[in-house]
Amino acid sequence: MKILVINAGSSSLKYQLFDMDTESVMAKGLCERIGIDGHLKHTPLVGDKPVFNEDINLPTHSEAIAAVIDKLTSAEYGVVSSMSEIDAVGHRVVHGGEYFSSSVVINDEVMKGIAACNPFAPLHNPANITGIEACTAVMGKNVPQVAVFDTAFHQTIPAKAFTYAIPYEYYEKDKVRRYGFHGTSHRYVAGRAAEMMGKPAEELKLISCHMGNGSSICAVMGGKSVDTSMGFTPLVGLPMGTRCGQMDMGAVQFIMHKYNIDIDEMLNILNKKSGVLGVSGVSSDFRDLEAAMEKGNERAGLALDLFHYWVAKTVGGYVAAMNGVDGIIFTAGVGENSAETRKAICEYLTYLGCEVDDAANAQRGKEIFINTPDSRVKLMVIPTNEELVIARDTKALIG
Ligand code: ADP
């Protein structure tokens, strides 16, 4: 069975074609600048086919999907002989609101549900819908499509953790609440952690730290998300590459009044100019910050300290939420690659009995325990794989 996984953004579209018999990626690629001019990078991963990396005209997502199918099936760059070999398409959809607590086969009713969540994720959901419609237009209605939601895993979070302490009618009438994101990643790494630990997920208390450009932490008890750091939007929780994380609205109002900034501009500042970029003035990339700190840049050092501190205190909060923890997982760009970040966070957690094995922590790019044999809590690096989860869910649903 071959499954195409699509992650459609407003002007970009990432894809991977999976051979689900071996769970291997046959080809992957990225369409960029859709609706502006257009560029496609297509990388075949089976056979000896060359990479295609050129500007091509992509006025809409439909032309982008058509270009992807064309490359996947072409004699020169292709990995399948015709479109009919693609059995199904799995889509990443950012927001499923309270409508979707698991992945679903897409039909007209599901499309209405996704559209109903557009106001919650105005930049992402409409782009995801465009990606689904483009696939239908190019591949026809007979190829089944599945939606896998970033928010779905967190639908098990109890009311005490998802309710905002504001007048209750905003939840009752408008569904304003904590939703959480990165659910596909947290679900995948928590599942892998249980396998690595050789225990049923039902018996484990895990904390998953997804640390990339965007970062969130998730408390997973008995295989279910019970709390997570992002909220109604992905802006809050930890300070991130460019996002502010937890913030006092009163301070936001003070800045807006003092500098005559309207709400859209303020949110742009909090989303794109804040986080470790805002504090350091150097970069949102943790590699740049670590290099700047080594050269003596104090604000880069402060930005990193602040990030480690927030991760550690959020982990501490989730230990309280679950009344214990068996394993802590590090994943995504920073979590998988920065030994310094992992070490600095774990230094706050020695009270829990977390002890890092420095030699194991220095390894990269693979699933590994980084705790010492005496550590009371298992510490794990687990590379995330959201695309594989989307392909697996799609396969399971179209059965
Ligand atoms: P996204 O949230 O966009 O999916 P990723 O999970 O790919 O992001 O993470 C990207 C981030 O990972 C980069 O901004 C960079 O800060 C960080 N990163 C990647 N490699 C390293 C490294 N070797 N050391 C520290 N940070 C790294």
Q: For 200-381, which CATH superfamily applies?
A: ATPase, nucleotide binding domain (3.30.420.40)
> How confident is the model at residue 323, as a pLDDT?
98
CB 167 within 8 A of CB 342: no
Ligand 1 centre from 338 Cα, in Å?
9
150 belongs to the catalytic site: yes
For the chain, which ranges sit under pLDDT 50? none
Q: Are 30 and 14 in contact (CB under 8 A)?
A: yes
Q: Which residues pair with 27 in a beta bridge?
A: 17, 44
Quickly list H helices, the chain: 61-73, 108-116, 125-139, 159-162, 169-174, 183-197, 249-259, 263-272, 275-280, 286-294, 298-322, 332-337, 339-347, 358-361, 386-398
Cα 332 to middle of ligand 1, angstroms:
7
Distance CA 238, CA 4 (A): 33
- pLDDT at res. 365: 85
Give the pLDDT of residue 162. 98
Q: Give residue 232 CA to ligand 1 midpoint distance, Å.
A: 24
> Which of 331, 337, 381 is the pocket-test mutation for ligand 1 (most atoms within 8 Å of CB)?
337
Domain boundaries, the chain: 2-149, 200-381
For 222, left (φ over 0), alpha (ψ -120 to 50), or beta? left
Active-site residue, selected from the candidate residues 19, 48, 87, 150: 150
When the candidates are 3.40.30.10, 3.30.420.40, 3.20.20.140, 1.10.3720.10, the CATH number that belongs to 2-149 is 3.30.420.40
pLDDT of the residue at 35? 93
pLDDT for residue 123: 85
Token pair belonging to 397: 């649903």
Nearest CA to ligand 1 atom 3: 213
C-beta of 333 in contact with ligand 1 (< 6 A): yes
Say how far apart CA 178 and CA 101 lie, in whole Å: 14
Q: Ligand 1 centre and the CA of 334: distance in Å?
A: 5
Q: Note whether 2-149 and 200-381 share their fold.
A: yes
Q: Give the Cα separation of 317 and 327 in Å (integer).
A: 15
Please tell me the distance from the alpha carbon of residue 392 to that of residue 3, in angstroms, as a whole number: 9
CA 231, CA 158: separation in Å to the nearest integer?
A: 14
Write down the pLDDT at residue 396: 98
**pLDDT score of 31:** 97
What is the pLDDT, as a whole number, of residue 229?
98
Those residues with Cβ within 8 angstroms of residue 318's Cβ, 6 or more apart along the chain or in another chain: 207, 217, 219, 227, 325
Asked if residue 338 has its Cβ within 6 Å of ligand 1, the reply is yes
Contact assessment for residue 250 and residue 228, using Cβ atoms and an 8 Å cutoff: no
Number of residues in the chain? 399
Is residue 179 within 8 A of residue 120, CB to CB? The reply is yes
Does the C-beta of 283 come closer than 6 Å to ligand 1? Answer: no
pLDDT value at residue 180: 98
d(CA 158, CA 338) in angstroms, rounded, equals 33
Structure tokens at 229: 């750091």
Binding site membership of 286 for ligand 1 (Cβ less than 6 Å)? yes
On whether the CB atoms of residues 289 and 316 are closer than 8 A, the answer is no
3-state secondary structure string across 82-139: CHHHCCEEEEEECCCCCCCCCCEECCHHHHHHHHHCHHHCCCCHHHHHHHHHHHHHHH
